[in-house]
């Protein structure tokens, strides 16, 4: 039977145990997190002397790092490959062996297990230049295999996807996300999970208490810039992703945002309000960069994704809204600027966090599909450029917005309009501003 607890062996500790000066055996320094039944191997001795303890890196950030270090629980041995094969055989048969038999396969330094209790044993064998590690629970009457997690601290977190997902096509992509609220934050995390390695985050807002029910950040970030908190989340989870957090307002600091968008591969807009969405649409068209706009509309009733591809003959956000008005279809954003329960007409935001995260992650999928389709991955071609997602739809909506809960309806944005102030004939960006009072 498999023994408990589970052991974690970081590569920073393991390399000492197989080094040229390691010797054949020693004792282990272990942090024992009893509630988790977890033992972190943080160091060792050689023949019981000249010990070391690794700190920092993985061990310095692990949630069990504050557990007490014990020096009387564990022993390590260098053994022959035969004993490692015995471990696998016992696992396959859910069996154990007698301590006397186990002792015969330990060439040096045997330390008898306690009469009561368990001794943790780590064995190492080098096979064709590669170390093979096994863990054991040794008791007075039996020796059973134990679970061991070997952590390669230098392994790229994306390596399990290599060959299965086009990581190389995404590694050099620079995505700029404008708006890191409850919608943009899960989008940013999803882009990192897809393998986008360069992210710029733009949002001037700080985390407020009312954000907590929907936002991925917790109360420890209250008062801090949202972009700073999301940067920490991403870099902790994906250390090879480069994140640039900028606490900028896309309208007030448009002069600073423009050069960033020029250097971006793709832009993702996830802001609240009409004016910021219009500004992002205008600036993306000016920069001639693909844009994905994500929004939660009609008090949380529907999600919307709009893809803008300047220079490809299709329209932009403004073109779409103008066409919907001309066709007498509903304008779902008629009161989007009223905020949380404020304004002349009370329209509180009722979207729940799960719905918002769903739309954000779907927006990330659209971003990645847009990038990979341009790289020749035809299997990721999207049906169209406008998607409406049913969350808690309000009965009576018209046009593309009359969806059922859980439905995704694709439609075309429509053709590019030469008279469009955003994607038509470009205006001087130094004086251009969003059209005040016009819903995006």
**Domain residue extents for the chain:** 3-151, 160-411
Q: What angle, 0 to 180 degrees and rounded to 10, lies between the N-to-C axes of helices 274-287 and 317-326?
A: 120
Contact predicate 319/417, CB 8 Å: yes
What's the confidence (pLDDT) of residue 125?
93
Q: For CA atoms 62, 68, 69, 73, give the dihedral sign.
A: negative
Output the pTM of the full model. Answer: 0.86
Cα radius of gyration (the chain):
29
Contact predicate 175/294, CB 8 Å: no
Q: List beta partners, residue 291.
A: 267, 308
| Alpha-carbon gap, residue 173 to 202, rounded angstroms | 17
Structure tokens at 164: 């299965």
Count of CB atoms situated within 10 Å of the CB of 254: 21
Contact predicate 29/67, CB 8 Å: no
Cα 412 to Cα 12, 266, 320, 358, distances in angstroms: 54, 20, 9, 22
Expressed in percent and rounded to 5, the helix, strand and coil fractions of the chain are: 30, 25, 45
Q: Which fold has domain 3-151?
A: Cytidine Deaminase; domain 2 (3.40.140)
Q: List beta partners, residue 124.
A: 78, 133
| Alpha-carbon gap, residue 100 to 20, rounded angstroms | 29
Structure tokens at 86: 């015995």
Q: Quick check: helix, strand or coil at residue 6?
A: strand
CATH top class, domain 160-411: alpha beta
**Cis link prior to 64 (omega < 30° from 0)?**
no
Contact predicate 305/387, CB 8 Å: yes
Burial (CB < 10 A; 0-12, 13-18, 19+), residue 432, is middle
| Alpha-carbon gap, residue 233 to 231, rounded angstroms | 6
* DSSP state string for 306-360: EEE-TTTTB--HHHHHHHHHHTT---TTTTGGG-SS-TTTT------HHHHHHHH
Per-residue pLDDT of the chain (440 residues; tens, 9 = 90+): 455 689 999 999 999 998 887 889 999 999 999 899 999 999 999 998 888 999 888 888 898 988 888 877 799 999 999 999 999 999 999 999 999 999 999 999 999 998 888 999 999 998 888 999 999 999 999 999 999 999 999 999 999 999 999 999 999 999 999 999 999 999 999 999 999 999 999 999 999 999 999 999 999 999 999 999 999 999 999 999 999 999 999 999 999 999 999 999 999 999 988 899 999 999 999 999 999 999 998 888 999 999 999 988 888 988 888 888 877 665 555 444 444 444 333 344 568 999 999 999 999 999 999 999 999 999 999 999 999 999 998 787 787 888 999 999 999 998 888 888 888 764 434 434 333 333 33
| Alpha-carbon gap, residue 71 to 121, rounded angstroms | 12
Which are the contacts of 315, defined by CB distance < 8 A and separation ≥ 6? 308, 323, 413, 414, 415, 416, 417, 420, 423
Neighbour order of strands in the sheet with 242-246:
242-246, 198-202, 174-178, 266-269, 291-297, 302-308, 386-390, 408-411
What's the confidence (pLDDT) of residue 431?
37
């Amino acid at each position: 039977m498999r023994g408990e607890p589970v052991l974690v062996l970081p590569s920073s500790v393991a390399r000492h145990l197989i080094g040229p000066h390691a010797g054949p055996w020693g004792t282990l320094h272990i942090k024992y997190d009893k509630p988790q039944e977890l033992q972190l191997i943080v160091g060792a001795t050689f023949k019981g002397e000249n010990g070391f303890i690794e700190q920092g890196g993985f061990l310095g950030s692990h949630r069990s790092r504050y557990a007490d270090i014990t020096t009387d629980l564990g022993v390590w041995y260098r053994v022959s490959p035969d004993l490692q094969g015995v471990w696998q055989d016992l696992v396959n048969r859910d069996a154990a062996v007698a301590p006397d038999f186990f002792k015969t396969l330990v060439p040096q330094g045997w330390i008898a297990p306690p009469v009561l209790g368990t001794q943790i044993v780590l064995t190492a064998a080098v096979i064709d230049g590669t170390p093979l590690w096994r863990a054991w629970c040794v008791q007075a009457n039996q020796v059973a295999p134990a679970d061991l997690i070997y952590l390669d601290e230098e392994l790229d977190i994306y390596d399990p996807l290599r060959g299965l997902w086009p990581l190389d096509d995404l590694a050099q992509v620079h995505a700029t996300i404008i708006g890191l609220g409850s919608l943009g934050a899960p989008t940013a995390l999803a882009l990192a999970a897809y393998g986008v390695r360069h992210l710029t985050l733009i949002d001037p807002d700080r985390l407020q208490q009312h954000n907590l029910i929907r936002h991925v950040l917790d109360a420890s970030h209250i008062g801090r810039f949202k972009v700073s908190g999301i940067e920490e989340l991403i870099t902790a989870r994906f250390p090879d992703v480069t994140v640039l957090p900028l606490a900028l307002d896309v309208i007030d600091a448009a002069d600073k945002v423009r050069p960033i968008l020029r250097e971006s591969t793709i832009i993702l807009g996830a802001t609240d309000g009409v004016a910021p969405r219009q500004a992002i649409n205008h600036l993306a068209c000016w920069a001639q960069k693909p844009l994905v706009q994500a929004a939660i509309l009609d008090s949380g009733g529907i999600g919307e994704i709009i893809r803008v591809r300047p220079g490809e003959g299709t329209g932009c956000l403004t073109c779409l809204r103008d066409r919907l008005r001309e066709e007498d279809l509903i304008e779902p954003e008629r009161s989007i600027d009223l905020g949380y329960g404020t304004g002349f007409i009370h329209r509180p935001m009722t979207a729940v966090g799960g719905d918002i995260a769903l739309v954000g992650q779907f927006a990330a999928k659209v971003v990645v599909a847009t990038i990979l389709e341009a790289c020749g991955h035809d299997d990721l071609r999207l049906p169209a450029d406008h998607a409406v997602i049913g969350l808690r739809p309000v009965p009576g909506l018209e046009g593309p917005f009359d969806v059922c809960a859980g439905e995704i309806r694709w439609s075309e944005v429509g053709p590019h309009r030469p008279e469009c102030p955003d994607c038509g004939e470009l205006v001087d960006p130094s004086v251009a501003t969003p059209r005040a009072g016009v819903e995006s």
